[in-house]
Amino acid sequence: MVMRLVVMLVAAAACSSGSSSSAPPPSPAKDPGPPPALAAEPAKPATPPAPAQMTLAEAGIVPDWIDPKADPCTDFYAFACGGFTKTATIPPDRSSWGAIELVVKDSEDVLHTVLEDAAKSAPGDPGLGKLGGYYAACMDEPAIEHAGSAPVQPLLDIIAKVRDARTAAAAVVALHAETVFALFAIGPQQDFHDATQVIAGIDQAGLGLPDRKYYLEDKGTMGKTRAAYRAHVARVFQLLGQREPVAKASADEVMRVETALARLQQDEVVRRDPHMVYHRVDRAGLETKIAPSFPWGDYLAALGIPDVTAISVNDPAYYTAVAALLATEKPAALRSYLTAAVLRDQADLLGKAWVDEAFAMRKELTGEKELPPRWRRCLRRTDRDLGELLGQSYVKARFGGEAKARAADLTKTVLEAMRQELDHLPWMDDPTRAQARRKLDKMAYLVGFPDKWRTYGFEVKRGDFAGNVRAASRWELARQLAKIGKPVDRFDWGMTPPTVNAYYDPTLNELALPAGQLQPPFFGATFHPAVNFGSTGGGTIGHEMTHGFDDEGSQFDADGNLADWWSKPTKDKFAAATKCVIDQYANYEAVPKVKLDGKLTAGENIADNGGVKLAYQAYQAWRARQPTPPPHLVGGYTDDQLYFMAYAQSWCDKMTPEMLETRAHSNPHSPPMWRVNGVIVNQPGFGPAFKCAAGTPMNPGKPCSVW
């Protein structure tokens, strides 16, 4: 999907081509008014009072994850998580194992049972019937094997017609209508300059490696990965029936075309500047100036939006160059490029040989040793395509009672701390402060699950897995594109309820906390409040809230418009504070010899640091208000210590070196260890809490401080 500048708590699973549509999209729900703004009402107690006596485990800290031999003042991550990282092994079918994955596994186990039952019994309930049918079709490996490569044949037939620039463009149009986004992608986008309007956004896309750098640079293992990719693409062509030398030549052509695209595409650091990715050229600009040779009228008609004229592109020059590439590149090379794009998107819908080949490339990037079991892959597909149907069962099982109200209260308490912080922030002048407060007061939040569940208007057939996925993709694309020209739906969730993640959307000035993120060990109704504040209050809520004011979010105003509300002196101080964070993290290594990109990770690091600082203040303020404060000492640790331990333990995690490196090259999130220690060294509350002398590694002095 395109250019929704949402910032997530953790790296999401790669968003495959996304969306699309055959059945008519649902009519928009009647607007029930905006979601609750954070400023709406004062917070009630964020968590129920903790009993006077509790064990560490009852408080929500995992005792076995602590390494009592590690010195918290030397390496806090080793102290809070060493017991875990020294003993845990990453399951062979995963690229990481830790707190997040434990919650994911729990949700997978819950939903596995739901889907198996639904698949078996053909339930009367139409929702369960659809879930069961979809899942059963995905699990039906004999039928999938029997179909061979037939499911992709219609897409290959489209490509076979390419013989010049005109037919190549026609193939791109037809593939996009089937949600295979070669060269670029399209979706709805709030107009950065008028957030009340939804326009079409077109963005660069269509590379097989995770980032353009992989084609152009040789850092770390990039060269090896590039060679593995070339060999993988050649094997894909062999599976399609080409002889080995021909297949290798096809793969070389794919590499040449993708490398050319990579050169034309914007770097991820450049793309953190919203001004660089918003160009409201409109249809007239595309048709008359930027890429007149591309059939934009046919394109929009094929996508079901023939009348759309309001369009932004990430970079006009890219589309001029892509149109030129279609005209100058050999048709055979374009066919190879498009074929590789189709099979990258669709291999998992085919038989074992295709799935295994796709996995051979995947494991290069993730370090996974084995394919996850079929049921789990099918469960993830179901979550992707029918997520708000499936999510209802999850909510029933894991997010009942007062969970939603409690999480909302915690959110409000952190908000109050942020408001206090804004009032006293020394580097901010008063005019800017007034605007920042306005933005905070208008910040809205979604908690747990949607108030109104999405319905899915496409047909599911048992025995036609690929057909179901394609119908789902087309339906979702149509649903997305139908937003263009309509009022913004602030209640349309960007994540499903079981998702263990969260996000902030700057164009909506809204944060979303799915039920999956509000689970133990992150959040527990009976946990010590310091633990809930440390993990969920700081690590999640404060983190997302701070995104509204990070290097990217700070460029959008209270209403989600790209507008500069900063005075020059305050902006200069903000830039200096941001540079401190950039330089700090650029010194950290993800794996030996591969350092983090301080600029790419700046927004996430600012959010981590700000979130933990804010929620710490929120906890202090909350505790001071309690007639009966929660226990001060639990298992030998003070509640201030519990706060930081809870934050750290939410990042206890072991990750394959392959995944650590892939993320360092392409992902804005720092690795778990630096999400802890990089934050801890900047926390004014940490040194006193653990009595770390000034100058110790975790209390080094001269902290970076943005929020």
What is the binding site for Zn ion (CB under 5 A)?
Answer: 7, 604, 607
CB closer to Zn ion out of 348 and 550: 550
- Give how far Cα 149 sits from Cα of 154, 171, 262, Å: 10, 19, 29
CB of 502 to Zn ion, least distance (A): 8
DSSP annotation of 49? P
Q: If you count them, how many residues does the chain have? A: 707
599: exposed, middle or buried (C-beta count within 10 Å: 0-12, 13-18, 19+)? Answer: buried
CB of 576 to Zn ion, least distance (A): 22
Radius of gyration of the chain (CA): 25
CB closer to Zn ion out of 11 and 37: 11
CB of 611 to Zn ion, least distance (A): 9
CB closer to Zn ion out of 440 and 481: 440
Cα(220)–Cα(533) distance, rounded to whole angstroms? 38
CB closer to Zn ion out of 552 and 604: 604
In 343-434, DSSP assigns E strands to: none
Cα(97)–Cα(655) distance, rounded to whole angstroms? 6
CB closer to Zn ion out of 346 and 535: 535
CB of 18 to Zn ion, least distance (A): 21
**Contact (CB, 8 A) for 133 and 461:** yes
- Give how far Cα 222 sits from Cα of 219, 234, 364, 510, 512, Å: 6, 18, 11, 37, 35
CB of 544 to Zn ion, least distance (A): 7
**DSSP H helices in 161-221:** 165-177, 213-216
CB closer to Zn ion out of 99 and 137: 99
CA angle 42, 563, 284 (to 5 degrees): 130
CB of 494 to Zn ion, least distance (A): 13
CB of 242 to Zn ion, least distance (A): 43
CB closer to Zn ion out of 551 and 604: 604
CB of 517 to Zn ion, least distance (A): 12
- Give how far Cα 369 sits from Cα of 99, 213, 309, 332, Å: 21, 25, 48, 35
CB closer to Zn ion out of 300 and 541: 541
CB of 700 to Zn ion, least distance (A): 25
CB closer to Zn ion out of 414 and 689: 414
Q: What is the distance of C-alpha 461 from the center of its chain?
A: 30
Cα(282)–Cα(312) distance, rounded to whole angstroms? 6
Cα(694)–Cα(691) distance, rounded to whole angstroms? 9
Phi, psi of 511, rounded to the nearest 5 degrees? -115, 150
CB closer to Zn ion out of 479 and 669: 669
CB contact set of 157 (below 8 Å; sequence gap of 6+): none
The full 3-state SS of 533-583, as one line of letters, equals HHHHHHHHHHHHHHHCCCCCHHHECCCCCECCCCCHHHHHHHHHHHHHHHH
CB of 523 to Zn ion, least distance (A): 17
